[in-house]
Structure 1
Amino acid sequence: MKYINSKKKLIGIIALAIILIAAAGFIFYVSDYYHADNTALAALKSTNSYTVNNTDDSITFTPTKNKSNTGIIIYPGGKVQAESYSVIASKLASEGYTAIIVKMPFNLAFFGADKADDVIADYPEIETWVIGGHSLGGVFASDYAVDNQDKIKGVIYLAAYPSSNASNATFKTLSIRGSLDNLTTSEDIEKNKNKFPANTTFITINGGNHYNYGNYRVQTGDNNSTITREQQQEQTVNAILEFLKNL
């Protein structure tokens, strides 16, 4: 009996040690994330064209003129600080679209896939919703849209593709990737093309890469772009604006 109790105690200690090691590993993993750069932080200031409301849950860019009844929800890429997407969001707001960047727990959309529910509930005056996401954020934005087709009219994939089948979805979609993207490759898009809705517009930005959609440091594993970050973001915003006009 004494031997059995000692064995149980040892198993308990080993199990606890494994849990603690896993927890420490997770904390280390999520603490090493991509921070927004100074350009992104500067875009968080309200201007004559839009106001910014930065809370613990989201960053909202609200147009001050020519306000559309269409709102855009943005899910950040994996381990990328939400503020990194403020430049693109501010440019969309300057064109009259309310843009809301969702802040994810641990900077991972996996832990906040349904956060768009709160955004939509907070802005009842917005009649049409589009959701988009960068990389991992695009995967979970797609999943949300598939599960909420009564709420979402459009999906924007930035260097992303559906992980679950969206081919029968009723919403329109826009897929944008850079030709030099080494993290979401052309092969990745091609292999998952049958998961996209039939009415998807595919755009490739020549010379663009994976991380230029946000404003943060060089992303491990990606290629350098041959166009500037500003040029890639300008082309991205122009493509999104055209997409929104044709919803």
Structure 2
Amino acid sequence: MPEKRGRRVLRWTLWSLLALVILVVGGTVIWSQVGVMTAEPGPLAEAEQNPALTIDADAPEGVVLSPADGDSEVGLVFIPGAKVQPEAYIAKLQDLAAEDGITVVITRPWLNLAFFDLRGMDAFTSAAPDISTWMVGGHSLGGVRSCQLAEDADALVLFASYCANDLAESGLPVLSLSGSEDGLSTPQKIADARHLLPEDAELVEIEGASHASFGDYGPQAGDGTPTISDEDMRAQLTEHVGAVADALR
């Protein structure tokens, strides 16, 4: 009897653990699909009408932005923020391709969360196999993930983000773009993680930019109020990231 009772307890324990795992996994999947911040239709439609820009939203690597003339020597793998639709970044990043000739691959993270996406750089750079020079970057949580991929890139660009791993001795060119009105990746959080970046990393705080200013998906809970226009924000992103690409050419 004690032996049978022990087997029953073991079976009950195993089934309980299995049920718990199913609940956790199922809950995570459901949560990752609820509240996804989608692209605002106006800025997206404008970008789609840009004659100097080619958009491939169905590429296996993600959303690929490339110059319409096909002349591109540098690429950027861009990882979206948590639960933000990749298309929400097209408008802000469009001039990197249309004006600066940078091929931009906006990834589609698994479950809309960068930390669940364990793919390496080659899973995204395959979108443009003729390009050998690649930057990696991302917005918010996507930037944290980009830091983990940086050793396989030629430069790192952080968009309202910071690293959790130590790149101080990497020798990697790093540009950190932040916003003075960011209520999530606050100026203080950016400063607190500064020691994880190389000494010569360039930190640029964009006056008037909030966390959501780096994309076009509407206001975000907990964020500050932006005072910069979308046009000026787009111009500053193009100028600063373009300068990194020019240094790599």
Is residue 133–residue 139 contact of structure 1 (8 Å, CA) maintained in 2?
yes
Is residue 83–residue 113 contact of structure 2 (8 Å, CA) maintained in 1?
yes
- Out of 35, 38, 50, the position equivalent to 2:53 is 50
Residue equivalent to 2:78: 74
CA distance in 1, matches of 2:212, 2:241: 17
1:105 aligns with 2:110: yes
Superposed, 1:109-148 pairs within 5 Å as 109-146=114-151, 148=152
* TM-score normalised to structure 2 length: 0.89
1:7 aligns with 2:9: yes
CA distance in 2, matches of 1:116, 1:42: 29
Number of aligned positions between the proteins: 243
* TM-score normalised to structure 1 length: 0.90
Structure 1 residue 242, shift from structure 2 partner: 2.4
Is residue 211–residue 222 contact of structure 1 (8 Å, CA) maintained in 2?
yes
Residue equivalent to 1:203: 204
CA spacing shift, 1:246–1:125, aligned 2, 3 Å = same
What amino acid sits opposite 2:183 in the alignment? Answer: N
What amino acid sits opposite 1:60 in the alignment? Answer: V
- Structure 1 counterpart SS, 2:48: coil
Structure 1 residue 204, shift from structure 2 partner: 0.6
Query: C-alpha deviations, 1:198-218, integer Å up to 9, x for none?
Result: 221111111111111111132
What amino acid sits opposite 2:27 in the alignment? Answer: G
List runs of 5+ in structure 1 lacking aligned partners: none
Query: C-alpha deviations, 1:162-221, integer Å up to 9, x for none?
Result: 111101113211111100111111221221111111221111111111111111132121
- Structure 2 counterpart SS, 1:246: helix
1:87 aligns with 2:91: yes
- Out of 3, 25, 28, the position equivalent to 2:27 is 25
Is residue 43–residue 90 contact of structure 1 (8 Å, CA) maintained in 2?
no
RMSD: 2.0
